[in-house]
Amino acid sequence: MEPVAGHIGAEIRGVDLAAGLDAAQVAAVRSAVLRWKVVFFRDQRLDHAGHVAFARLFGEPVVLPRRGKASPAGFPEIETTADRLELGGRFGMEQDEWLRRRRHTLLRGWHCDHGARVDPPAATVLRAETVPPYGGDTTWANLAAAYAGLSAPLRAFVDTLRAEHRLGVGYQPRPGDDAYVRHLLHHQTATVHPLVRVHPETGERVLFVNGYYVEQIAGLSRPESAAILELLVEQATRPEYTVRFRWEPGSVAFWDNRATIHLAPGDHAHLDHPRTMHRVMLTGDVPVGVDGTPSEPVVGSEAGRW
C-alpha cells in the first residue's frame, strides 16, 4: 500500500480482486479504507459478478429500486453511470444543461452518495470500464481531517448543530414547466443530520457537510446558515484535504462514504468519448451526532429500506 496524498487516499498494489481475498487481506483493505478514506486498485479484471463479490466482503450491497437504463440486467446491486446516457433526453434536457442548473457554483457538485437519506451508504466501490484518454478524474475530500483542521471554538460550535439534507436543493429551474422539478416533487427525500457525525467504526468526528444536499442549518437564519455552510464546505474541500484520481480501464476506487465527499468530473463532456463506470454501494447506518442524537428522517427514506 502506498499513500498518494497527505490526508487522504492510498493505492493498493499486488492484489487481484477477481481472485478473491483471504481474511487477512480483507482486514488489511478495511483498515486502509478507514485510515485513508479512499483506496485505489489498478489493472483489475473484475466483471459484474466479481465486483459484487468483492463489495460483499465488506458489507451488504444496496439494491436500488430504480436504476438508469445503462445498468446491467441480472445484477441489481450494480448501477452503471454512462454520463451522456444518464440524463440525455430525460426531463427535456441534455446532461450538460442539467449539470449547469444543478452545479452552478464551485462547491455545489461536492457530495456523499445518497446523503439525503436517513441512512446513507457506508461505502462505495466504483469500477471503471471505459474512460476518456484524458479528463474525467474524480476528487475526494477527507471530512475527518477537515473537522480536525477547524479552530477549537468553531469545532465546539458546529458540534451542536444539525442541518437538513434534501434532494434537489439549489437546482435552478427552467422557465415555465420543468419536468425535473416535477420529478423532484414526486421523489422528495430529506433528513435532518448532525452537522458533525461520530464515525461508527473509528470514533472520529466528521464534518458532515456537502454542497449538493445541504442548504439550511436548523435554528439559524437563512443568511447565517448560508455563510456558515459556505465556510464549512470550503474548509472540507481545501486542496490539502483532497486527492484526485486519474481513471484507467480496470481501475477500482473503494471509499468510506461516511467520512468523505467527492466531486464527479466536469471536464470531459466536450471530448465526445464514453466514460462508463459501475457502482456498488454498501448499506449504512443512521448517523449519530456528538451528543448521541441520531439523524431524523423528514420525508422519503426509512432506515434499512431502499
Q: Which residues are catalytic?
A: 111, 113, 262, 279
d(CA 163, CA 219): 9
d(CA 197, CA 226): 20
Reported in sequence order, the residue ranges of the chain that DSSP labels E, i.e. its strands, are 2-3, 10-11, 38-41, 79-81, 123-130, 138-142, 162-166, 190-194, 196-198, 205-207, 214-217, 242-245, 252-256, 260-263, 276-282, 296-299
d(CA 43, CA 186): 41
- Closest listed residue to residue 277, CA positions, set 145, 119, 80: 80
- All three cell numbers of 273: 468519448
d(CA 80, CA 283): 18
Going by their DSSP bridges, the two strands 38-41 and 10-11 should be labelled as: parallel
Only one residue has cell 452518495, namely: 113
Q: Under a CB-based contact definition with an 8 Å cutoff, are residues 250 and 45 in contact? A: yes
Q: Please list the residues that pair with 214 across neighbouring strands.
A: 165
Q: Phi/psi at 84 (nearest 5 deg)?
A: -65, -25
